[in-house]
Copies of this chain bind each other. A is one copy, B any other.
Amino acid sequence: MKKSKVETAQTRDRIVKTAAAEFRRNGIHASGLNDVMAAAGLTHGGFYRHFDSKDQLLAEACAVGGEAFAEMIESAASAGDGKNSLQAIVEAYLSPKHRDDREGCCPVVSLGSELARADEATRAIATEGFLDLVDFVAKRFPRTKPEVAKAKAIVVLCAMMGAVTMSRVVVDPDLSDEILLQMKKHLTGG
């Protein structure tokens, strides 16, 4: 049953990507390794050929999930023209599509309160992902001092994270939409 090196690496990648989706969909605690491995088309026994522990998988899944989400945001930014790329980011982040995308969304939205209790390695990776996003958003404030741009980016990102999280908690669909809309108006100076 031994697989080629290429195949082994592909399997490992598939497990991490599957975990990144499963964790975001169901939460960290609620996603069993059995679920993740089955969703990746494998049995659970082989897990420890690739990883030391569930915590290690979580850390790697956070890295991959964060990068994938950053790419989504970056492509949304480049869809808007140079001047309006901040608005394009805000509209993508605060869209009902993002709110309803349980597998591909921002990891902080789907896992925020669980990440706050995760081990240091995972939180360090989440911190890096956040800072990468902060840098990217900060560039949308040209002719602004770097520290000020960074501060603005932190505010915009955290505000959006809170809004999408809350839009998922409330039961009233109209209220959920309103939360996204009001935050969008606020952040785009409407």
Interface set of A (CB-CB < 8 Å, partner B): 26-27, 29-30, 108-117, 120, 123-124, 126-127, 130-131, 151, 154-155, 157-163, 165-166, 168-172, 175, 178-179, 182-183, 185-186
This chain's copy number in the assembly: 2
Residue of B nearest to A180 (CB): B158
Known: A111-B113, A155-B182, A166-B108. A127 touches B161 (CB 8 A): no
The answer to whether A116 touches B165, judged by C-beta atoms less than 8 angstroms apart, is: yes
Contacts of A182 in B (CB 8 A): 151, 154-155
The answer to whether B158 touches A183, judged by C-beta atoms less than 8 angstroms apart, is: yes
Q: Is the interface of A mostly helix, strand, loop or mixed?
A: helix
30 A/B residue pairs, CB under 8 Å, sorted by A: A27-B114, A27-B117, A30-B117, A108-B165, A112-B166, A113-B113, A113-B114, A113-B165, A115-B169, A116-B165, A116-B168, A120-B171, A124-B171, A126-B169, A127-B175, A130-B166, A130-B169, A130-B170, A154-B183, A155-B159, A155-B183, A158-B159, A158-B162, A158-B179, A159-B159, A159-B162, A159-B183, A160-B162, A161-B165, A162-B165
Contacts of A30 in B (CB 8 A): 29, 117
The answer to whether B166 touches A165, judged by C-beta atoms less than 8 angstroms apart, is: no
Q: CB within 8 A of A169: which of B108, B166, B168, B175?
A: B108
Q: CB within 8 A of A127: which of B29, B108, B127, B170?
A: B170
A13 vs chain B, min Cβ distance (A): 25
Contacts of A162 in B (CB 8 A): 157-163, 165
Contacts of A172 in B (CB 8 A): 127
Once the chains are docked, how many angstroms separate the CA of A131 from the CA of B111?
Answer: 23
Contacts of A185 in B (CB 8 A): 151
Once the chains are docked, how many angstroms separate the CA of A178 from the CA of B186?
Answer: 21
